[in-house]
């Protein structure tokens, strides 16, 4: 028990809920004492010396004295290896059996008595002691994993329990200049500095900031970026673990480099690994193919959404929505938290405060506003949902302990049971329950408390580790099921909603999850603290999750638990407007989040922010469809297109929105200017039209009413036209002698139609900028910007005068000069 646990334990003992939580925590501890025997004596094991090899499709099987290693290279250069016979399936992250082996990959002898698998895009070398190296075709080492080590029970009587397996650890070395990203949602990111990162989905029990770890979504997924190249590594094991990162150091002068290191220690589970190499775009495309394409949210879910724990009644919801309408502020959805339930019980409605919820939903929908419902996994013991769950299958739907008794925990409704989402029959039953939500008029759901949470005054606030789970037929306890629990819940909800309404793609996002969760929707920050550190953590979470393959996410704008100052609220709103999930949310005890609550000046600026989000809605929809096709996140780090640029790798306070926009939020109080690091190429300040030449750093104004947003020269963005509904194109002039382009994917409707990709090119023709469609015809009615520093509307082309370009300097100074053919447009 740490100091934080002690303070909470002392505080909560004085309340009835606190006393129940104490009893629940003690029951869980006793359950583990019975169902989770102590680990006895252990023996360590390493692979030993290589004794033989056997070619297999795409690679080979290498036998060592005390273990065996399977290495396989798949088509596209995706690498898989596993120890001790672990296969690629079954896996909660990987779709099917994974990609097919590359028939051209061959196993051949390497130097020093080792062997290597050679393919077109990657080489995997294995030493005679079991070290594994991932190399470029030119022989440059991207990653070197040293021989693993296992700790196994010395005898059956000292084991951990049936099927637990051995603990294991691997240590990897990467180039000295490498930077680490990923590991799920980390508040201290997006760049992961030296430290220990726990792999155990956790409710931090209150507002969190950059110093809190772990959080709700942890994944053994890393993206490592170095001069030599970029790679993603995924150790496919959902057990609890720890990652120890230490960045490298390049030698001064003739001194040696100290490589970066990453050590992974897991408490059990299979030792199997996937590695993808290439550009960031290629890696995320391969990751999407491996773990599943991201779900595309409905078009309305890409607009601004308002949530609050504590709306209290239907009349309060109407009042808030009317406030937005009266002020002309855009609003797409309202989210109802647990207070709309009857005594917090899932799949119920408080009939007194919401006497006609379907009628309220119809009324709001006529105004263009959808209702979204919270759904928690914990089911109140004794209510009708609990009774129905007990009748599912021979053993019921709920998690049980080693003695076969239902595991009970303390959550908002009181004593609760927990569905076992690793059981297919339970997932099917739970998915059917969403019919009640649809009948109440809800258009989407957000999963909360699904780490899963059981209130506890000490220790981990979750289920006992000895709790038994089906694990889709494999069987296991909570140590193997905990991190994939929310993933199973998301699958149950998604599949249920698809069965219930097959013509509509669901809107679902989840507080917790694991690798592959993008198949079923997105996520949000959870209870980020109200403060400037929480604002910074919001951006870190979205960037890190995107690099782990989860493109749709966003924070609680304004923070969850406090009362932001007008300045902080506005800066948070400005950041949120350029993130995929744009939602305000707050706790029942926190300050309001409606823009007009912060005064007339903030209200006026908020109107501009919300209008700009609406204007960019077609661009967000295009990015969502592209994410489904390519795996590319909407929000990308500045180094996305140039991972070799070290200055960009270390820039954490700005991001790219798609290929076209660079957003530089204000993350510090009192700032009215900020430095912006530019990637290579020409960039236009969208507020002034001034052009800047990167790479380098510039200083831009950031008054209270706006944050710096720059457009890449030569980009074509789909936006809403002045009338609000029609989609039009906005083109930014390329540099002279350069071309550019962009794509548009129109809203295909509520179903699963992927829509058609419309491609456009932009170029100079004489003294005019023209935009052409894929067939070469000139496009009418395009808004062309970046010509003479002013906006202009023309029939596909606009004449231009002399261009003046501000050249970014690495020290932040600016020099001015005439344009030249050396300007760089988009790739």
SS (H, E, C) 456-493: CCCCCCCCCCCCEECHHHCCEEHHHHHHHHHHHHHHHH
Beta-carbon-side half-sphere exposure of residue 453 (alpha carbons within 13 Å): 21
Task: Give the span between the Cα atoms of 482 and 216, in whole angstroms.
Answer: 11
Q: What's the maximum distance between 2 C-alpha atoms anywhere in the chain? A: 84
Task: Give the span between the Cα atoms of 723 and 781, in whole angstroms.
Answer: 14
* Closest alpha carbon to 340 in 308, 363, 368: 308
Backbone φ and ψ for 363, nearest 5 degrees, come out as -60, -45
Among candidate residues 237, 495, 527, 612, the one labeled active-site is 527
Among candidate residues 32, 160, 448, 730, the one labeled active-site is 448
Extended beta strands in 655-789, E state: 655-657, 661-663, 673-685, 691-701, 709-712, 716-720, 727-732, 739-745, 757-765, 768-773, 782-787
Beta-carbon-side half-sphere exposure of residue 290 (alpha carbons within 13 Å): 30
Cβ-contact 484, 62 below 8 angstroms: no
| 448 counts as catalytic | yes
Cβ-contact 268, 165 below 8 angstroms: yes
Helix and strand tally (H, E) in the chain?
14, 49
Which residues, in sequence order, are bridge partners of residue 42?
A: 153
| 376 counts as catalytic | no
Is residue 90 reached through a cis peptide bond, with omega within 30 degrees of 0 on the bond before it? yes
Task: Give the span between the Cα atoms of 245 and 265, in whole angstroms.
Answer: 12
End-to-end CA distance of the chain: 54
Cβ-contact 460, 478 below 8 angstroms: no
Task: Give the span between the Cα atoms of 805 and 803, in whole angstroms.
Answer: 6
CA distances from 116 to 120, 131, 445 (A): 13, 11, 48
| 227 counts as catalytic | no
Task: Give the span between the Cα atoms of 529 and 537, in whole angstroms.
Answer: 9
Q: What is the number of residues in the chain?
A: 827
DSSP-assigned letter for residue 514: -
Among candidate residues 110, 213, 267, 451, the one labeled active-site is 451
Task: Give the span between the Cα atoms of 478 and 322, in whole angstroms.
Answer: 46
Residue 200: other Cβ atoms inside 10 A = 17
Task: Give the span between the Cα atoms of 231 and 143, in whole angstroms.
Answer: 8
Q: What is the CA radius of gyration of the chain?
A: 27
- Burial (CB count within 10 angstroms: exposed 0-12, middle 13-18, buried 19+), residue 753: exposed
In the block, tokens 């390519």 appear at: 630
Pairing verdict, β 195-199 and 218-226: unpaired
Active site positions, annotated: 448, 451, 527
């Amino acid at each position: 028990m740490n100091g934080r646990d002690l303070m909470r334990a002392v505080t909560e003992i004085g309340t009835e809920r606190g006393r129940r939580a104490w009893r629940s925590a003690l029951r869980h501890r006793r359950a583990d004492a019975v169902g989770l025997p102590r680990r006895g004596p252990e023996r360590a094991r390493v692979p030993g010396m290589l004794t033989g090899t056997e070619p297999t499709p795409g690679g080979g099987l290498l036998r060592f004295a005390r273990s065996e290693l399977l290495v396989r290279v798949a088509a596209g250069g995706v690498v898989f290896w596993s120890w001790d016979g672990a296969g690629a399936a079954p896996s909660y992250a990987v779709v099917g059996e994974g990609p097919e082996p590359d028939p051209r990959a061959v196993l051949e002898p390497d130097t020093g008595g080792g062997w290597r698998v050679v393919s077109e895009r990657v080489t995997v070398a294995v030493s005679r002691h079991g070290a594994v190296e991932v190399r470029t075709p030119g022989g440059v080492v991207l990653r070197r994993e040293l021989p693993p080590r296992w700790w196994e029970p010395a005898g059956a009587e000292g084991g951990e329990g049936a099927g637990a397996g051995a603990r294991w650890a691997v240590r990897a070395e990467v180039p000295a200049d490498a930077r680490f990203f990923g590991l799920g949602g980390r508040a201290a990111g997006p760049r992961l500095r030296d430290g220990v990162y726990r792999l155990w989905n956790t409710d931090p029990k209150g507002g969190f900031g950059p110093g809190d770890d772990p959080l709700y979504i942890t994944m053994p997924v890393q993206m490592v970026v170095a001069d030599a190249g970029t790679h993603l590594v995924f150790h496919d094991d959902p057990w609890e673990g720890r990652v120890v990162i230490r960045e490298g150091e390049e030698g001064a002068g003739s001194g040696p480099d100290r490589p970066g290191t990453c050590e992974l220690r897991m408490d059990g589970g299979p030792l199997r690994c996937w590695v993808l190499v290439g550009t960031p775009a290629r890696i995320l495309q391969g990751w999407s193919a491996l773990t599943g394409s991201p779900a595309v949210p409905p078009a309305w879910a890409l607009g601004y959404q308002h949530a609050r724990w504590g709306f209290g009644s239907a009349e309060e919801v109407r009042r808030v929505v009317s406030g937005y309408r009266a002020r002309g502020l855009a609003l797409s959805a309202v989210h109802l938290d647990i207070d709309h339930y009857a005594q917090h019980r899932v799949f119920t409605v408080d009939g007194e405060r919401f006497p006609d919820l379907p009628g309220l939903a119809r009324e709001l929908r006529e105004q263009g506003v959808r209702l979204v419902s919270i759904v928690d996994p914990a089911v109140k013991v004794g209510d009708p949902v609990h009774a129905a769950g007990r009748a599912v299958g021979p053993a019921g739907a709920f998690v049980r302990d080693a003695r076969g008794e239902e595991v009970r925990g303390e959550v908002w409704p009181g004593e609760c049971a927990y569905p076992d989402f690793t059981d297919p029959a339970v997932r099917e039953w739970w998915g059917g329950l969403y019919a009640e939500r649809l009948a109440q008029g809800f258009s989407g759901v957000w999963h909360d408390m699904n780490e899963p949470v059981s209130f506890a005054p000490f220790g981990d606030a979750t289920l006992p580790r000895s709790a038994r789970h089906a694990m889709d037929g494999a069987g296991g306890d909570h140590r193997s099921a905990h991190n994939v629990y929310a993933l199973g819940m998301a699958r149950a909800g998604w599949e249920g909603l698809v069965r219930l309404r097959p013509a509509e793609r669901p809107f679902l996002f989840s507080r917790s999850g694991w690798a592959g969760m993008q198949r079923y929707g997105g996520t949000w920050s959870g209870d980020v603290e109200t403060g400037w550190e929480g604002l910074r953590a919001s951006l870190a979470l979205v960037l890190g999750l995107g690099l782990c393959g989860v493109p749709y996410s966003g924070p609680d704008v304004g923070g969850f638990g406090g009362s932001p100052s007008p300045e902080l609220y506005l800066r948070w709103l400005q950041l949120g407007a350029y993130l995929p999930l744009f939602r305000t949310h707050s706790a029942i005890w926190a300050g309001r989040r409606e823009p007009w609550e912060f005064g007339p000046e903030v209200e006026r600026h908020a109107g501009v922010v919300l209008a700009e989000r609406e204007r960019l809605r077609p661009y967000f929809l295009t990015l969502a469809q592209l994410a489904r096709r390519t795996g590319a996140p909407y929000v990308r780090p500045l180094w996305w297109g140039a991972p070799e640029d070290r200055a960009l790798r270390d820039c954490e306070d700005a991001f790219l929105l798609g290929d076209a926009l660079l957003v530089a939020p204000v993350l510090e109080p009192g700032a009215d200017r900020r430095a912006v690091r530019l990637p290579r190429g020409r960039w236009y300040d969208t507020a002034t039209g001034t052009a800047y030449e990167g790479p380098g750093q510039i200083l831009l104004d950031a008054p209270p009413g706006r944050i710096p947003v720059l457009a890449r020269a030569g980009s074509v963005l789909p936006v809403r036209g002045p009338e609000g509904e029609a989609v039009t194109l906005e083109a930014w002039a390329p540099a002279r002698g350069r071309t550019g382009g962009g794509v548009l994917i129109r809203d295909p409707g509520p179903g699963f139609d992927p829509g058609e990709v419309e491609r456009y090119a932009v170029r100079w023709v004489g003294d005019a900028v023209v935009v052409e469609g894929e067939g070469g015809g000139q496009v009418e009615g395009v808004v062309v910007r970046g010509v003479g520093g002013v906006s202009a509307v023309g029939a596909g082309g606009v004449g231009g005068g002399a261009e003046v370009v501000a050249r970014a300097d690495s020290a932040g100074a600016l020099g001015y000069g005439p344009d030249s053919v050396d300007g760089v447009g988009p790739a």
